[in-house]
A and B are shown apart, each in its own frame.
Chain A
Amino acid sequence: MPPDPTSRHSSSLPAWPSEGTHEIPFAAYTDDATYRRELERFFYKGHWCYVGLEAEVPRPGDFKRTVIGERSVILVRDEQGALQVIENVCAHRGMRFCRERHGNRKEFVCPYHQWSYTLRGDLQGVPLRRGVKQDGQWLGGMPADFKPAEHGLTRLRVATRGGVVFASFDEQVESLEEFLGPEILRWFDRLFNGRALRVLGYNRQRIPGNWKLMQENIKDPYHPGLLHTWFVTFGLWRADNRSQLRMDAHGRHAAMISTRGKAGAAGTVTAVSSFKQGMALHDPSLLDIVPEPWWGEPSVVMTTLFPSVIFQQQVNSVSTRHIQPVGPGAFDFVWTHFGFDDDTPEMTERRLRQANLFGPAGYVSADDGEVIEFSQQAFASKPDGQALAELGGRGAEDTEHMVTETLIRGMYRYWRRVMEAQS
Chain B
Amino acid sequence: MSFETWMALQQLYADYAAALDAGDWDRWPQFFTEQCVYRIQPRENHERGFPLATLSLSSRAMLQDRVYGIRETLFHDPYYQRHVVGVPCIRQVEGNHIHCEANYAVFRTKLSEPTTVFNVGRYIDVVARTPEGLRLASRECIYDTELIPNAIIYPI
Interface residues of A (CB under 8 A from B): 101-102, 199-208, 227-230, 233, 276, 279, 281-283, 285-286, 332, 337, 348, 352-353, 355-356, 359-361, 363, 366-367, 369-371, 373-374
Kindly count the residue-residue contacts between A and B in the assembled complex, taking CB atoms under 8 Å apart: 119
Q: B1-51: which have CB < 8 Å to A?
A: 40, 42, 44-45, 48, 50-51
28 contacts between A and B (CB under 8 A): A101-B44, A201-B42, A201-B45, A201-B48, A203-B148, A204-B146, A205-B148, A206-B147, A206-B148, A230-B73, A233-B73, A282-B65, A332-B147, A337-B52, A352-B52, A352-B56, A353-B58, A356-B57, A360-B150, A360-B151, A361-B54, A361-B153, A363-B74, A366-B76, A370-B75, A370-B76, A370-B77, A373-B77
* Cβ-defined contact, B149 with A203, below 8 A: no
Interface residues of B (CB under 8 A from A): 40, 42, 44-45, 48, 50-59, 61-62, 64-65, 68-69, 72-77, 146-153
Chain A facing B: main interface SS: mixed
Residue of A nearest to B152 (CB): A361
How far does the Cβ of A305 sit from chain B's closest Cβ, in whole Å?
22
Known: A199-B50, A203-B52, A352-B51. A361 touches B151 (CB 8 A): yes
Q: A203-B148, A361-B148, A366-B152 known; 8 other A-B pairs, CB under 8 Å?
A: A205-B150, A281-B65, A283-B58, A285-B59, A286-B65, A352-B53, A360-B151, A370-B151
Alpha-carbon distance A359/B56, docked complex (angstroms): 12
Alpha-carbon distance A360/B76, docked complex (angstroms): 12
* Cβ-defined contact, A366 with B52, below 8 A: no
Residues of B within 8 A of A228 (CB): 73
How far does the Cβ of B31 sit from chain A's closest Cβ, in whole Å?
16
How far does the Cβ of A147 sit from chain B's closest Cβ, in whole Å?
40
* Cβ-defined contact, A201 with B52, below 8 A: yes
* Cβ-defined contact, A276 with B72, below 8 A: yes
Residues of B within 8 A of A102 (CB): 48
Contact with A366, one of B51, B57, B59, B153 (Cβ below 8 angstroms): B153
Alpha-carbon distance A203/B40, docked complex (angstroms): 11
Residues of A within 8 A of B58 (CB): 283, 285, 353
Residues of A within 8 A of B57 (CB): 356
Residues of B within 8 A of A283 (CB): 58-59, 61-62, 64-65
* Cβ-defined contact, A361 with B72, below 8 A: no
* Cβ-defined contact, B69 with A363, below 8 A: yes
Alpha-carbon distance A417/B56, docked complex (angstroms): 44
Residues of B within 8 A of A233 (CB): 72-73
Alpha-carbon distance A370/B151, docked complex (angstroms): 7
Residues of B within 8 A of A286 (CB): 62, 65
* Cβ-defined contact, B150 with A202, below 8 A: no
How far does the Cβ of B49 sit from chain A's closest Cβ, in whole Å?
9
How far does the Cβ of B147 sit from chain A's closest Cβ, in whole Å?
4
How far does the Cβ of B148 sit from chain A's closest Cβ, in whole Å?
4
Alpha-carbon distance A355/B40, docked complex (angstroms): 12
Residue of A nearest to B41 (CB): A201
Alpha-carbon distance A298/B9, docked complex (angstroms): 50
Alpha-carbon distance A282/B58, docked complex (angstroms): 12
Residues of B within 8 A of A356 (CB): 55-57
* Cβ-defined contact, B153 with A282, below 8 A: no
